[in-house]
Amino acid sequence: MKNYQNLEKKLGVKFKNPHLLNKALVHRSYLNETADKKLTSNERLEFLGDAILSFIVSEWLYQNFPDYSEGTLTNLRSHLVKTETLAKIASQLQVGQYLLLSRGEKESGGQKNPSLLANTLEAIIGAVFLDQGLPAAEKLVKKNLKPLLESLIETGEFKDYKSLLQEKIQAKTRQTPVYKTIKEVGPDHAKIFTVGVYSQDKLLAKAIGKSKKEAEEQAAGQALEKLAS
């Protein structure tokens, strides 16, 4: 088993059971090239880590942003746990250099593959949870995601068009924009909706979509473009 002292330092976790960390770093391709038949891949730990990560981030956002709607919280969470974000954190922690991969996977750039790095980080979170419980996993997740969360809150990039439009309209008029279905065409299983968004009874924009929600989001986006011009 490799020496993972430097990785543990970066993670801020000293494993009680180092075999858990070792298992978190085993890609399934490596199993074809090892004589150790007892070794298993990190896929089960990844499954667990994915659920733990989602729980930690969901509870964190719920507690810290009481005024955010369910849709806004969902958008914010998806930005924090998406593959690109997790891969970036894994790169900063230099997880790639510890990954156990087949020769072919290494040669094809597996140690820098975003999807592979993201999956391995989730496996590490699962391993930390099993080794030291939820508080340790929570500490690891929050420490690495906090700078991104602060940046997202500052820029508002995570917000959907409807949320952004509502903020803009409320700041101007202290009223909420209203969405009305203008037209529905097509059979029940394939309807197309035309929705308009209004402020103070004035049509700001209209758009079509395969659902009312999609049409509302498109209409809000067009309204924001018009208000910005």
Say whether pLDDT at 1 is over 70: no
Q: What is the DSSP letter of 184?
A: E
CA-only gyration radius of the chain, Å: 23
- CATH superfamily name and code, 5-155: Ribonuclease III domain (1.10.1520.10)
pTM of the predicted structure, to 2 decimals = 0.75
Measured CA to CA, the distance from residue 146 to residue 123 in angstroms comes to 20
Summarised one tens digit per residue, pLDDT across range 12-39 is 999 999 999 999 999 998 888 777 778 8
Measured CA to CA, the distance from residue 17 to residue 94 in angstroms comes to 21
Using a pLDDT cut of 90, give the percent of the chain over it. Answer: 67
Q: What separation in angstroms does the CA of 196 have from each of 152, 175, 213, 227?
A: 29, 16, 12, 15
Q: Of all helices (H) and strands (E), which one includes residue 216?
A: helix 212-228
- Which sequence spans correspond to the domains of the chain? 5-155, 161-228
Using a pLDDT cut of 70, give the percent of the chain over it. Answer: 99
Say whether pLDDT at 123 is over 80: yes
Say whether pLDDT at 150 is over 70: yes
In the CATH scheme, what is the code of domain 161-228?
3.30.160.20
- Kindly state the average pLDDT of the residues 64-77: 87
Catalytic residue positions, numbered: 50, 122
Name beta bridge partners: 208.
194
Give pLDDT, residue 167. Answer: 84
Q: Quick one: CA dihedral 61, 62, 65, 71, positive or negative?
A: positive
For residues 223 and 204, the answer to whether their CB atoms sit within 8 Å is yes
Measured CA to CA, the distance from residue 58 to residue 157 in angstroms comes to 18
- Kindly state the average pLDDT of the residues 77-83: 92
